[in-house]
Amino acid sequence: MKRNWELDELIEHFTLLPHELALIEYKLGETKLGFAALLKFFQYEARFPNNKFEIPKVVLAYIAKQLSLEPGVYAQYDWNGRTIKRHRVQIREYYGFRKATVEDVPRVTDWLCQHVLHHNQEFEYLKEAVYGYFRDLKVEPPTPDRVERLIRSAIHTYEEQFFQTTFQKLPVPSLAKLDVLIESITVLDDEEELEQHENRQISFNELKADPGRAGLESVLKEINKLRTIRNL
């Protein structure tokens, strides 16, 4: 969650509505403020804070003012006891969410492979997409570490599927030529050698090498790369 908020943003996202105030009505002090902060954070992020102070001070102050409490009482809210666990259960039920299970992992992995990874594999984008997907499923996402492991596993699965599908589509003659390309260690030295070995395939390392400074030799090498690719 971002740290800086304008007043109109606070009003839009963190104003306690009458039906939300009814949930808080019989709670007192730090328990009241803690519950209200968790409630509005979950409403905005579709997850609970990863730590006690992830909720920005300006947000806490705005919520506390609505409850006629001092923001400082939040520091007394027990972050690890039975009370906060009970609060999380209440908030999940209120919004119709459930906790993530092991069965959700392959579901999210399949969704990433089929709908996301083919057009964007930037990690931060994938994190936002996964959290959005959990929100759509009405599932509280797992811990950040587990989400990152899930994404890395999905990327690995997608790449394996992509490589296997590509491999199966390659004609047998092309596979044989690729094997020769990878195994070849011949190095092109000059124009005379190019003429002598016009039809040879250069090595894979040569094929992916930087062309270097512009010159006759580098041009001839790049021509041979192009010939090799066309031959494949």
The predicted-structure confidence for 31-57, as pLDDT tens digits, reads as follows: 999 999 999 999 999 999 999 999 999
Give the domain range for residue 157.
Answer: 104-169
End-of-domain residue from the set 169, 185, 212? 169
End-of-domain residue from the set 65, 96, 127? 96
Residue 126 and residue 52 in one domain = no
Residue 92 and residue 146 in one domain = no
Phi, psi of 204 (to 5 degrees): -65, -40
pLDDT for residue 106: 93
Percentage of residues in the chain with pLDDT exceeding 90? Answer: 70
Q: Which of 153-157, 169-173, 179-183: highest mean pLDDT?
A: 153-157
Single out the residue of 42, 91, 40, 44 nearest to residue 66, CA to CA.
40
Of 5-19, 47-61, 62-76, 164-178, the one with minimum mean pLDDT is 164-178
Residue 156 and residue 226 in one domain = no
Residue 87 and residue 124 in one domain = no
Task: Check: CB of residue 188 under 8 Å from CB of residue 221.
Answer: yes
In a domain, 119, yes or no: yes
Residue 17 and residue 63 in one domain = yes
pLDDT for residue 208: 78
Residue 125 and residue 89 in one domain = no
Give Cα 231 distance to the centre of its chain: 39
Residue 158 and residue 184 in one domain = no
Residue 110 and residue 75 in one domain = no
Calculate mean pLDDT across residues 198-204: 61
Residue 147 and residue 179 in one domain = no
How far is Cα 104 from Cα 110, in angstroms, rounded to an integer? 10
Residue 72 and residue 109 in one domain = no
In a domain, 161, yes or no: yes
pLDDT for residue 204: 73
Cβ-Cβ contacts under 8 Å for 229 (sequence gap 6 or more): 207
Query: Residue 163: is its pLDDT beyond 70?
Result: yes
Task: Check: CB of residue 38 under 8 Å from CB of residue 90.
Answer: no
End-of-domain residue from the set 39, 74, 96? 96
Residue 190 and residue 208 in one domain = yes
In a domain, 2, yes or no: no
In a domain, 1, yes or no: no
Which residue pairs, CB below 8 angstroms and at least 24 apart, start in 76-83? 76/29, 76/30, 77/30, 77/31, 77/33, 77/34, 77/52, 78/34, 79/51, 79/52, 83/31, 83/34
Mean pLDDT, the chain, rounded, equals 88
In a domain, 189, yes or no: yes
Residue 181 and residue 137 in one domain = no
How far is Cα 137 from Cα 98, in angstroms, rounded to an integer? 9
In a domain, 12, yes or no: yes
Query: Residue 127: is its pLDDT beyond 80?
Result: yes
In a domain, 212, yes or no: yes
Q: How many domains does the chain have?
A: 3
Cβ-Cβ contacts under 8 Å for 57 (sequence gap 6 or more): 71
Q: Strand runs (DSSP E) across the chain, as ranges?
A: 98-99, 139-140
Structure tokens at 18: 């009458």
Calculate mean pLDDT across residues 146-158: 95
